[in-house]
Chain A
Amino acid sequence: MCRRLMPLILCLFLLTVTQSGCWSSKEIEDLALYTGLALDTGKLTKAEQELEEQGVTYSKRDKVTATVQIVPVKTPGMEKKGGPQPLHYLNISGTGDSVFEIFRQYSIRNERPIVGHHLKIIVVSTELLKRQSMEQLMDFVLRDNDIRPSTMVFISQSRAEETLVSKRTDEIPSFHLRDMIQGQKRTSKVMKPVILSELDALMHAKRSYALQNLVTADGETEFTGAAVVKGDTGHWIGTLSQEDTECLSWLTNKSKAGAIKAYDQDNEPMTYEMKDMKSKIKARIDGDDISFDVSIKTEGRLIETWNSSSDADSTEYTEKVEHIFGAKLEKMTEKMMEKLQKEYKADVAGFGDALSIQYPRVWKKVQDHWDDTFSRSKINIKYDLKINDFGSFTE
């Protein structure tokens, strides 16, 4: 019995192994990786317009134009040396009212299926964010399990697809944008990037937040200020200037770098280079009134001054300069707080976090209308700016 069964079992086993093939195997070169995704207001691309004129379309409303950056472009056979360098990426766009459907629609034009494992950045245009909420736009991206939660999200002031185009042919714009955040070691104007998983939490908590703002000009993309997204609606409400963004980074303890430039008594510019920055937000409850005490402590060096007549190392001079820089810092911060409290009425600086940690019970009461409460709270800021270094110079 066993003797006859055994070859049979062996044959069956061999059959299952040989006939089933390689389950879910997909060679890497047969896939197209997309590394960047740009979401814009619905505007048919040229190809789509011509296709629609020929009556090629499907049932949809043109609300969103999704552009993906596909790398690398397939090169036929052996690459020949020399000659003009071909572009390393390919941007393709589609218009519709479902991001996923647009993605699938690419497959009727492209030879390789696109996979999202390597998605690095998502850029959303402010124009689109005025019409659609962030939750709506990010829904597919968060649900899809190929896309990593570490993907960074940016806002673009102009059309988002323009940020995925670069004048330089030797680099891939989405990688360029991803690497540009390293600038935050040098300047606080580059914010700490918000990644998908953080964004998910913020959206879920209905909190207002600020995202890095991108501006494109002449094929170059720059990090400029921040875009503020209102928590309860999920729409874009405005931008913060570069200096506001700097103050925001300092206030939220997310950056220790940066420079403050001020003008001295002779109206000559001088610059302070920040070496250390600590800020602390302390909530204070007085009946129904909520107020905050903020202390900003910074140390740094005087790195540049155009006034040569100064007696640089005297104590009086140091105090004078510290005072000037402190005043400048105060002015900048107040301008930013004014904008947040009065103009946008959105707490993107983490005051709500401080309150929820220090007074959880009070927070429970006010969290549903926090942005409103925040705009009415009083905020006292104490500045402590110290210069302990003048760099190396000779008398």
Chain B
Amino acid sequence: MISLLSSVISHIPGWDVFFQAGIALLIPLAVSRIYKALYSLVGSGRAVESPGSSAKKRKGQSDAPVSPPPQARQGFSGNYAADLQSIKSAIGRNSDLHFKEFTITRLQKQAVLIYVDGMQNDRILNLQIMQFLMLEATADSFSPSGSAGQQLPFSQLSEASDLADFNKSVLYGYAGLLIEGLPQGLLIQPPEGDSRSLDEPVSEALLRGPRLGFSESLNENTSILRRQGRSDQLEMVTHRAGNRIQKDLVIAYMKDIVNPELLREVESRISKLDIDFLAESGYIEQLIEDNYLSPFQQVQNTERPDRVISALLEGRIAILLDGTPFALIVPVTFSMLLQSPEDYYERWLPGSLLRMLRFAASFLALMAPALYISFISFHPGLIPTELALSIIETRQGVPFPSIIEVLILEVSIEILREAGIRLPKPVGQAMGIVGGLIIGDAAVNAGIVSPFLVIVVAVTAISSFSIPMYSAGITLRILRFVGMGFAALLGMFGTILFFLMICSHLTKLKSFGVPYLTPVSPFRARDWKDLFFRAPLALMKRRPAMMKTQDSKRKS
């Protein structure tokens, strides 16, 4: 009995083992604690997490603009002079605002046309509208009051019963019409501001595929989407967001495909947007994403209408914001970030090859410098002997440890890249040559870095350019530096640890309820045919299972 006890005791490890076990338990707990604390500290841009804040409730969902209620709604009195006076007192100081008062000759009534410089086609405004109003308009056109729109020959005509709303619309560019005896303002011509011509998207150029990108005008963008093809199921719903300056945004989806729960989730997140002004769709992306601490984007952005429409057909939802060519697509998974529309336009073999190439490239872009550091500083035995010899020979003049060496070159490459974006195109190309050739070669000759590293960094930089989504490339660029830190501390062990941490983070991450790593985890065998390789189109009979679409069949 005693011998048994003593043999048991002899197998109990020393205190240091318990200490290590304790640390191994405490560190993950602490990390998750810190994470939660950080998350609750900042919260989210959405109003959900901060019930205490006096967030304004959602803005109107329909087309009718609803003004925030700092002052009580002020309707039109019906008194022409008083109404004009109150409009003038509210927005009359704007020097680009024109009031054109005239008399409707057939009715002998006073009217005023209010518009902003540059927002209307002056020819049409002066010649046609004025001519009609002054000379041709009869009493029938305006009576019975209330249904004025039906008699007036304007295609886009709405009525504003609210003064503040009328003012906003006029300043936004509508031509406003105020007529004596009519207790409402008419908004006749929508703004026709100058917009640039449609161009090929700069950030997502393709060799094969439509050379058409979104522009800054929301109307144009929705019309581009409509023009992709005939369908009565493509539904676009306008929402309005922004507390101080309001902007239109459109949620687009296929009515018979989209998962209604997903749609409800997107609509609720959009309706909870609480911010002064949405300058770009990136604002929306950051305010509706699931996890702001994650380095990975949970919303896809694109300039390509073809990309948007095929996403809609997969059961995803697009969000278009006025004033930016970048549309958002939700939800997104990791594999989607490495897909390019070209994969589908080309035949399936080249498409699959390119896609696998992209996976390999993103691995290189993430890990290559970390692997270099761990090989050079920790595991010389893992390098083939002849290569090890040449590395030793070239590195003998280098005074820095490999982490410093890599940092020097990586940081200068990143600076070059950043500078190349800012510079005008011809200068930017020259910068690339200067960076690639001269800095690389000179750094080697000066003995700051080894020639082998120049190859590693160059391959890394090129690899990160091959990722079709620019923002996904940035994510990998950030993480690359983290990986280098791990490698410098713990060698190969650290590099693998880093990779596992990324994997575990990605497994937990979700984008609008869809796990980020689907179909790898959770495993969905059906979706694997469009993951690492792209199956022939004839085989893709069903929509991705991860989207839980209403109608999963692609073929009739």
Chain A residues within CB distance 8 Å of chain B? 2, 6, 9-10, 13, 17, 20, 22-29, 31, 33, 35, 71-72, 74-75, 77-78, 115, 117-118, 120, 146, 148, 175
Contact = CB atoms under 8 A, between A and B. Distances in A.
Given A2-B37, A33-B389, A23 B398 contact: no
Given A25-B491, A29-B392, A118-B388, A77 B377 contact: no
A118 B392 CA distance: 13
Given A6-B37, A26-B377, A29-B392, A78 B488 contact: no
Interface stretch (B44-52, B354-362, B378-386, B409-417): B378-386
Contacts of B392: 28-29, 31, 33, 72
What is the interface of chain A mostly: helix, strand, loop, or mixed?
loop
A159 B115 CA distance: 104
A170 B489 CA distance: 38
22 contacts: A6-B33, A9-B30, A13-B30, A22-B401, A23-B490, A25-B377, A25-B378, A25-B401, A25-B491, A26-B378, A26-B380, A27-B376, A27-B401, A27-B402, A28-B380, A28-B391, A33-B380, A33-B392, A72-B392, A74-B396, A115-B380, A148-B381
B34 interface: yes
B378 A72 contact: no
Contacts of A28: 375-377, 380, 383, 388, 391-392, 395
Contacts of A118: 380-381, 385, 388
Contacts of B385: 33, 35, 118, 120, 175
A23 B396 contact: no
A339 B398 CA distance: 58
A365 to B, nearest CB: 41
What is the interface of chain B mostly: helix, strand, loop, or mixed?
helix
A22 B34 CA distance: 25
B212 to A, nearest CB: 50
B488 A115 contact: no
A10 B34 contact: yes
Given A6-B37, A17-B489, A146-B381, 18 more contacts: A6-B33, A22-B401, A22-B403, A22-B488, A22-B489, A23-B490, A23-B491, A25-B488, A26-B378, A27-B376, A27-B377, A28-B375, A28-B395, A31-B380, A33-B392, A72-B392, A72-B393, A77-B397
B378 A29 contact: no
A267 B392 CA distance: 58
Interface residues of B, number: 30
Interface in B188-218: none
A26 B401 CA distance: 9
A23 B393 CA distance: 24
B65 interface: no
Contacts of A35: 385
B34 A6 contact: yes
Interface in B484-535: 488-491
A25 B492 CA distance: 11
A74 B447 CA distance: 15
A303 to B, nearest CB: 35
Nearest to B394: A29
A141 to B, nearest CB: 15
B250 to A, nearest CB: 42
Nearest to B405: A27
Contacts of B376: 27-28
Interface in B315-346: none
Contacts of A25: 377-378, 401, 488, 491
Nearest to B381: A117
Contacts of B377: 22, 25-28
Chain A to chain B: the 5 pairs with minimum beta-carbon distance, closest first = A117-B381, A29-B395, A118-B385, A28-B380, A25-B377
A74 to B, nearest CB: 6
Contacts of B380: 26, 28, 31, 33, 115, 117-118
Contacts of B378: 24-26
A10 B380 CA distance: 34
